[in-house]
Amino acid sequence: MHKKNLLKHERVAFILEELQRRYPSPPIPLDHKDPFTLLVAVLLSAQCTDARVNTVTPELWQLADNCFDMAKQTQAAIQKIIRPCGLSPQKSKAIKNLSQILVEQHHGEIPQDIDALEQLPGVGHKTASVVMAQAFGEATFPVDTHIHRLAQRWGLSSGKNVKQTEKDLKRLFPKESWNALHLQIIYYAREHCSARGCDGTVCYICSRCYPRRKKALTTQSA
């Protein structure tokens, strides 16, 4: 007798339990020491791996590890250090400009407000959501390419865009799970359900959510 594919509410419960078992206390993958260094690290991680960012930021923090000192640096000095992260002209300009804005408009403090964060140069919704979750403990559900991909493989979202994926996941999972869950999904995606390593039929969670799925699942990119 063939096993049945799990219903959506069964998938949600199974995924929550399995990810909590595997990653009971998921660490924040970007090295930082306060909200400002977290904000800069997340900005640098756009189209770059966390591991690469973590090799670059120690030298950047030696140059300036707060918005007051960073605002005084030249864009060229910042860009020279962060070049390995890619998009260094845009990122260095954003880091200098957001530092100046933090000094001039926010008394050197990172605003604990997602709308205010999104107004800063180089800070989109995902970056602001990560800072709100990981620096201030606010319940958010930042959706990156890993989460966007797995939400489709697990039948939790249509994958039309990351905004819709975030909305769908927030509706399905309890709010108190969001901050840990977004990290848990990222770790699972990297280790077990990567873009090339799984096609929706291979990894532990995919194969148990959809035991009757035989063909590879094509996912929409973020």
**Any idea what DSSP says for residue 6?**
P
Residue from 144, 167, 170, 199 carrying the catalytic annotation: 144
Domains for the chain: give ranges and CATH numbers: 8-26+141-209 (1.10.1670.10), 35-134 (1.10.340.30)
For the question of residue 96 being annotated catalytic, the response is: no
Residue from 91, 96, 126, 168 carrying the catalytic annotation: 126
pLDDT in tens, 50-85: 999 999 999 999 999 999 999 999 999 999 999 999
* Residue listed under structure tokens 């407000």: 113
Q: What are phi and psi of 76, to 5 degrees?
A: -65, -40
Using 50, 70 and 90 to split pLDDT, how confident is the model at 1?
very low
Whether 15 contacts 154, CB under 8 Å = yes
How many angstroms from the chain centroid is the CA of residue 68? 26
Where does the chain have alpha helices with state H? 8-22, 35-44, 50-63, 67-72, 75-82, 88-106, 114-118, 125-134, 145-153, 162-172, 178-191, 204-209
pLDDT in tens, 45-57: 999 999 999 999 9
For the question of residue 144 being annotated catalytic, the response is: yes
pTM of the model: 0.93
Any idea what the Cα angle at residue 86 is, between residues 84 and 89, rounded to 5°?
105
% of residues, the chain, pLDDT over 90: 96
